[in-house]
Amino acid sequence: MRIKMLAAAAMLGVASLGLSACAQTLNATVSRYQAMPAPQGQTFSVVPGEGMAARGGLEFQRYAGLVAQQLAARGYAPAANPGSANLIVQLGYGVDRGQVRYFSDPFYRGGLWGGGFYGPWGWRRSGFGWGFGWDDPFMDGGIDSYIEYHGEVDLHIRAAGSGTPLFDGRAQARSDTNRLDILVPNLVEALFTGFPGHSGEVIKITVPARRR
């Protein structure tokens, strides 16, 4: 029972994260404004938008392919090139440098195990985030820390030629990882859940977290 209580207390520190080291879901905030035409075979082309997508390259092509798959599944057709597309799809994405967050252990009992931390348990940095472990140097005094990152995917769809706005969407999430190959696919999936949605809505969407 005591170990369960200690585990629950430790997890309070990362409860706000959308994608943790052992989490099975991603909690994203999605905002959408749309005037999308019903799919009737319109062609589209995905081009670089803002943020880290602006540099293009192979990384962008990978994530553009994910967006193309989502649009194709909804009845839109990939164009041979941007010049022949009916719809221009601007994809942007990025993640910040992170911010250190601190939390305390309400069940901390310094010195009980001679180490001044969670008895035999500590809260340590693992491969993707924080997990239970041994001898964490931050545990002295019952205070621990972790890094929280903010990831974002933006999608703007415009009518080719006129530039008429048809869709503006954004998916955001807090996470314990800054890896784009983990964040972007999950945020794209969240953005396309219920696509195109109701104009002006801001909703919370939970999707199964996929790690690469």
The pTM assigned to this predicted structure is 0.72
pLDDT band at residue 87 under the 50/70/90 scheme: very high
pLDDT at 113 over 60: no
Task: Give the residue among 104, 102, 101, 99 at the shortest CA–CA distance from 10.
Answer: 104
Which pLDDT score is estimated for 208? 74
174: left (phi over 0), alpha (psi -120 to 50) or beta: beta
What ranges do the domains of the chain cover? 1-212
The residue ranking higher by pLDDT, 19 or 82, is: 82
Structure confidence by residue, pLDDT tens digits, 156-200 = 999 999 999 999 999 999 988 889 999 999 999 999 999 999 999
CA distances, 35 to each of 14, 80, 165, 169 (Å): 38, 24, 8, 12
